[in-house]
Structure 1
Amino acid sequence: MKRKIAAIFAADIAGYSRLVAEDEEETLRRLAAYREVVDDFIARAGGRIFNTAGDAVLAEFPSAVEAVRCAIDIQESLRTRNMAFPPTRQMSYRIGITIGDVVERDGDLLGDGVNIAARLEGLADVGGICISRAVHEQVANKLSVQFADMGAREVKNIPTPVHAYRVAMRREDGTYAPPQDKTTKSGGVRRLIVMAAASVAALVAIAAGTAFYLDSYGPQPARRDAAKAAAEALARLSGKPASPSPGPTAVAAAATPEPAASPVAAQPGPAPSTSSASAERFTPEAVPFVSERTRIALARDYVPAPAHKAFATTINGVSAYVTGQSSEDAAKAAALEQCQQRAETSNGPRKCELYAVGDSVVYAHSKPPLPPQPWVRHDPATERAFSAAEMPLVRDTGRARLEANYGSARRTKAIALGPGGQFFYSVGGDLVDDVVRRNLEACGAQAGTACLIVALDDAFVVPVPAVMKATGFFHAASHTAIAAEARDEVARRLAGAASGWNAIAVGTAGHPGYGLNGDREETAVGGALADCSTRDQDCRVIAIGPFTVEDN
């Protein structure tokens, strides 16, 4: 026997006995279909099913974050499937997750970790998820969901109380309901502790991704049709493409289709630089715009697949790949067709382009420009609450969209801003680093130059001027108002001023004045003007934080 620490996932169907009694044949048929979804999500998240019995599933995960994310994906996917049935015939899982020390014996897991997961499952709502305190500590700051503290609960056959939390689940309108504190009786998972059965092979399923939005100065398209969205979701859950793929043995999978939740339109701006088709070898970790989940799916499914295959994407991450096509041309056509179908139902940039054919990158554009790391620096001296009305460089129409769609949206969310006022933002993501990267890539591709993360969740994370008006990004090395011989020194001193408010002033001769590491914007501005006046005349402030500025 081998001992180890693992995240244990326990699930069974609420009211399963009643469903069987009412219609055994139909219930068993739907159970098999739902289990395909469950098993597939578990496999895709790196989990392993180690025990099953009837309607119940026990699985282990090496990561608590992946276990909870997988549980959320399962519940949301099955909620979509249940929409086709009346409430009395809906088939919903309860899921419990804990981290514990377990014993492995002949592939099965035993111990308190398994027992506690089963008890947590019994505390979960129908269609809900209940986690232990140990799991909550691991995922609270890594997943953009809410939790309800249920406190310590006495549960059967566990000598000490179990501190439990409920996870908020999505409503039918796409919003998240705060989890309510109520208990339910435990179901059939406890049977798994003493019963063993074979695991079921996983099928292809789709991982949900972050909803992306692109600012524009043009007209807004209409909101996506709810019925069409539901049909698309059902098609994705079934593992079938939205339309038939050319080629008799085609295998198609969405590479995180990223549905959008509010109207957007195309953003004007410089087009990315183009080059001839690259001979670069395809590597999933280098693919821009898409989520880490999509990269994982590409590494698992696309890379090892033989020819003929292709992968297409948009800059907001709507994408699709196909394998097993009859020819290279058929692969390219199928990838573009399926990507375009998904793009047409999303509220973002709708132009799909081939990124890879076979094992070669054929993307016609250069890599999106990115700023140097770190992409986000938290500084309590300069961070303040996000306000759409104070968004720098952006026109009033863009601020109105941010006010309507960003301010009240759920985390994780971020805004990337270009020097010409282009901006790209996303809401409802999982991992902060993933959301930040994808916003910067999409904004950079649209702007043709590196963008800046100005807001993360509900705060500005760069110094946003209030006493003066931002007019662009400040680059000391190329700013013509600064004397040429002084530009390197300005850049060096700004690089060394890592916190607080920074301002630069110049006089008629281009001699700079510095206001660095100020506790307030006004302090930095006053310091820069005073310093400049000691070596030049008619001084004026030209930069605050990362922005060039002028008088309001």
Structure 2
Amino acid sequence: MKRKIAAIFAADIAGYSRLVAEDEEETLRRLASYRSVIDDFIAKANGRIFNTAGDAVLAEFPSAVDAVRCAIDIQESLRTRNMAYPPSRQMSFRIGITIGDVVERDGDLLGDGVNIAARLEGLAEVGGICISRAVHEQVANKLSVQFADIGAQEVKNIPTPVHAYMVAMRREDGTYARPQLKKTIKAAPAPNWMWPLVVGVVSVVAIGVGGFLYFTKLETAQVTSSPATSTAAAPAPGSLTAPSPSPTPTMAAKAPSPVPTSTPTQAAAATPTPMSSPPAASTGKIAVDAVPFIGERQRAFLSNEYAAAGDYKAYALNIGGFFGSALNKPTEEEARNAALDQCQKRADAAQSQRRCELYAVGNKVIYGHGEPPMPPKPWYRHDAITERAFVPKDFPMLRDQFKTRLENIYMTAAKSRTIALGPGGQYFMGLGGTTVDDSARRALESCGAIAGAACMIVAVDDVFVVPIPTLLRVTGFFHAATNPSIVADARDEVVRKLGDGTGWNAVAVGIAGRPGLGLKAADEQTAVNTALADCARHDSDCHVIAIGPFAVGPMN
């Protein structure tokens, strides 16, 4: 036997017994396919599988960094594969990782390190990763990953609590989901001698409070809650989830995962901020055209069935496009709860990271986030000079795994479909719309709510509808009016000359910030050459800073 220190990786399928019971042959076939993916990632990360049992995989890695990076790659790859199946048939793994002293015997590894990794796997969320504190200390400053400290955890057959962390999994737009925090171990009970003291203190306080309430009874009896408080405040998302859920991002009022279809496609979120207070509820009918994130079919439902229903009704939605409704309920509270529950079940079934909120109770709009930021119309235009076939690998500002998602989901979806892109690399697919404009609106609204800024339609059906640079790397959106590379007194002129943006356009600047423009060119190279030549007439050391609607920089 040989002892060594190793990073131990344990993976297991969530709900494997149920999947086998429902369809054994199909489950075993898919397990073999998924195991092939896992085995490949482990081998590429210099890992070694030392034990398997049914749906479980145990592997060792020479470093914690390799183990965590491999686990993230596995989860993101399997999540993409799962999108091809209904929620009830998706096969998701939990993964646990620790560093420990283990004993090697005949190629197998034994010891507490293996046992702790298995227990951490049990703590992980479905499709998530849980690591020990020792692993966190090794990877925290080496990987661009966020973590949630879930504290010391009591786990089976391990005598001392294990301090653990959840890995925040990356969403489609490059941001990170916030893991749901597990409860930490309970504090030791108070000594028995303290109970008489506690009872005495509570009694004194109760007497004082009772006297206070007696003398203030007449005053408090006259105080009533305002209608906005009693009917307009939506239940907190936390009432629907495990402890410490992520709050919903606040949208700027009237400015700044799964898409709203029968099988919505969810996208990702910007850093969450506390929810703002709902505005005062209006007493008129819902302005159906102002309801965000939903498609034309749901607008028709709100105009007809919902509008005609009795008093106790409610409508809930989330920014991923999921919705729920409750009509003709016995009480307002039942209508609220039923609408939220229906919406959240739909979102959870598609593994949406977004919490549902009440949009309306009766005919009163109580949604407190205002309208998502939207660009001016037209939202897209077709230009024969710059338009070309949509190719996922050419999509700007996205990591490779998200481009794979576009290939697996967007490319196989039926028309009409669109993709909106945010200035920070956020994106949202508008699928299943009745028209292209319907899909574009939904994609822009959800993307804008996620990004906190207006997004841009980049693709419509099978074509890119904006110029996609190939000579330089896209770094973000280009806004001439505020671009610091351009000298201030020349920005308005650049904005004016760019005009409607048809054809290929490029902007270059020199060392003094004087711009040069290449406008309405027939191809990208001509636009770049013209911009550089124009800049060189009144500046030096010129370089291109924009092509089409994008800011650009040197290729990596």
Q: TM-score, normalised by structure 1?
A: 0.53
| Residue in 2 that maps onto 1:247 | none
CA contact (8 A) 1:481 1:510 kept: yes
Alignment of 1:241-390 (within 5 A): 258-260=261-263, 267-271=268-272, 274-279=275-280, 281=282, 282-346=286-350, 348-390=352-394
State whether structure 2 residue 430 is matched by structure 1 residue 429: no
Listed one character per residue, the Cα deviations across residues 289-336 of structure 1 (whole Å, up to 9, x for unaligned) are 111111111111222333222100122322111122232222211110
CA contact (8 A) 2:318 2:355 kept: yes
| Residue in 1 that maps onto 2:79 | 220
* SS of the residue 1:373 aligns to: coil
**Cα distance, 1:338 vs structure 2:** 1.3
Q: How many angstroms apart in 1 are the aligned matches of 2:530 and 2:86?
A: 56
- Counterpart of 1:458 (choices 458, 462, 467) is 462
Between stretches 303-312 and 472-481, larger displacement belongs to: 303-312
- Structure 2 residue identity aligned to 1:389: K
Q: How many angstroms apart in 1 are the aligned matches of 2:274 and 2:476?
A: 21
* SS of the residue 1:532 aligns to: helix
CA contact (8 A) 1:310 1:356 kept: yes
Residues 408 and 265 of structure 1: CA distance in aligned 2, closer, same or farther (over 3 Å)? closer
Q: How many angstroms apart in 2 are the aligned matches of 1:494 and 1:358?
A: 48
**Cα distance, 1:228 vs structure 2:** 5.4
Listed one character per residue, the Cα deviations across residues 489-537 of structure 1 (whole Å, up to 9, x for unaligned) are 1111112x44100001011111110100000000110010000000111
**Cα distance, 1:396 vs structure 2:** 1.2
CA contact (8 A) 2:260 2:431 kept: no
State whether structure 2 residue 410 is matched by structure 1 residue 406: yes
- Counterpart of 1:443 (choices 437, 443, 447) is 447
Give the alignment's Cα RMSD to 1 decimal: 2.5
* SS of the residue 2:434 aligns to: coil
Residues 447 and 538 of structure 1: CA distance in aligned 2, closer, same or farther (over 3 Å)? same
* SS of the residue 1:303 aligns to: helix
Q: How many angstroms apart in 1 are the aligned matches of 2:377 and 2:274?
A: 22
CA contact (8 A) 1:343 1:350 kept: yes
| Residue in 2 that maps onto 1:190 | none
**Cα distance, 1:260 vs structure 2:** 2.3
| Residue in 1 that maps onto 2:509 | 506
- Counterpart of 2:536 (choices 533, 537, 543) is 533
State whether structure 2 residue 518 is matched by structure 1 residue 515: yes
* SS of the residue 1:503 aligns to: strand
CA contact (8 A) 1:217 1:268 kept: no
- Structure 2 residue identity aligned to 1:457: D
Q: How many angstroms apart in 2 are the aligned matches of 1:219 and 1:448?
A: 29
CA contact (8 A) 1:315 1:442 kept: yes
* SS of the residue 1:324 aligns to: coil
Alignment of 1:180-191 (within 5 A): none
**Cα distance, 1:223 vs structure 2:** 4.5
Q: How many angstroms apart in 1 are the aligned matches of 2:400 and 2:547?
A: 22
- Counterpart of 1:545 (choices 525, 535, 548) is 548
CA contact (8 A) 2:517 2:530 kept: yes
CA contact (8 A) 2:87 2:349 kept: no
Residues 524 and 274 of structure 1: CA distance in aligned 2, closer, same or farther (over 3 Å)? farther
Q: How many angstroms apart in 1 are the aligned matches of 2:444 and 2:297?
A: 18
Structure 2 unmatched runs, 5+: 1-74, 90-258
* SS of the residue 1:527 aligns to: helix
Q: How many angstroms apart in 2 are the aligned matches of 1:358 and 1:422?
A: 34
Alignment of 1:170-181 (within 5 A): none
- Counterpart of 1:467 (choices 454, 468, 471) is 471
CA contact (8 A) 2:77 2:401 kept: no
Residues 474 and 467 of structure 1: CA distance in aligned 2, closer, same or farther (over 3 Å)? same
Residues 265 and 292 of structure 1: CA distance in aligned 2, closer, same or farther (over 3 Å)? closer
**Cα distance, 1:350 vs structure 2:** 4.6
**Cα distance, 1:226 vs structure 2:** 4.8
CA contact (8 A) 1:257 1:342 kept: no
Residues 548 and 498 of structure 1: CA distance in aligned 2, closer, same or farther (over 3 Å)? closer
**Cα distance, 1:360 vs structure 2:** 1.8
CA contact (8 A) 1:290 1:316 kept: no
Q: How many angstroms apart in 2 are the aligned matches of 1:459 and 1:368?
A: 26
Listed one character per residue, the Cα deviations across residues 233-268 of structure 1 (whole Å, up to 9, x for unaligned) are xxxxxxxxxxxxxxxxxxxxxxx973327xx66524
- Structure 2 residue identity aligned to 1:536: D
Residues 438 and 477 of structure 1: CA distance in aligned 2, closer, same or farther (over 3 Å)? same
| Residue in 1 that maps onto 2:9 | none
- Structure 1 residue identity aligned to 2:422: G
- Structure 2 residue identity aligned to 1:396: D
Residues 356 and 272 of structure 1: CA distance in aligned 2, closer, same or farther (over 3 Å)? farther
- Structure 2 residue identity aligned to 1:523: T
Residues 443 and 259 of structure 1: CA distance in aligned 2, closer, same or farther (over 3 Å)? same
* SS of the residue 2:538 aligns to: coil
- Structure 1 residue identity aligned to 2:493: E
- Structure 2 residue identity aligned to 1:267: A
Aligned residues: 308
CA contact (8 A) 2:317 2:324 kept: yes
Q: How many angstroms apart in 1 are the aligned matches of 2:412 and 2:338?
A: 38
- Structure 2 residue identity aligned to 1:369: P
* SS of the residue 1:356 aligns to: strand
Q: State, as a whole percentage, how many aligned pairs show the same letter.
A: 48
CA contact (8 A) 1:504 1:528 kept: yes
Residues 541 and 320 of structure 1: CA distance in aligned 2, closer, same or farther (over 3 Å)? same
**Cα distance, 1:398 vs structure 2:** 0.8
* SS of the residue 1:355 aligns to: strand
| Residue in 1 that maps onto 2:191 | none
- Structure 2 residue identity aligned to 1:452: M
* SS of the residue 1:446 aligns to: helix
CA contact (8 A) 1:272 1:447 kept: no
Q: How many angstroms apart in 2 are the aligned matches of 1:540 and 1:426?
A: 36
Residues 217 and 463 of structure 1: CA distance in aligned 2, closer, same or farther (over 3 Å)? farther
* SS of the residue 1:374 aligns to: coil
Listed one character per residue, the Cα deviations across residues 175-212 of structure 1 (whole Å, up to 9, x for unaligned) are xxxxxxxxxxxxxxxxxxxxxxxxxxxxxxxxxxxxxx
Q: How many angstroms apart in 2 are the aligned matches of 1:432 and 1:219?
A: 30
- Structure 2 residue identity aligned to 1:367: E
**Cα distance, 1:358 vs structure 2:** 1.8
Listed one character per residue, the Cα deviations across residues 424-450 of structure 1 (whole Å, up to 9, x for unaligned) are 113343311101100101111111111
Listed one character per residue, the Cα deviations across residues 392-436 of structure 1 (whole Å, up to 9, x for unaligned) are 011111111112222243221111001111111133433111011
CA contact (8 A) 2:432 2:439 kept: no
- Counterpart of 2:482 (choices 478, 481, 484) is 478
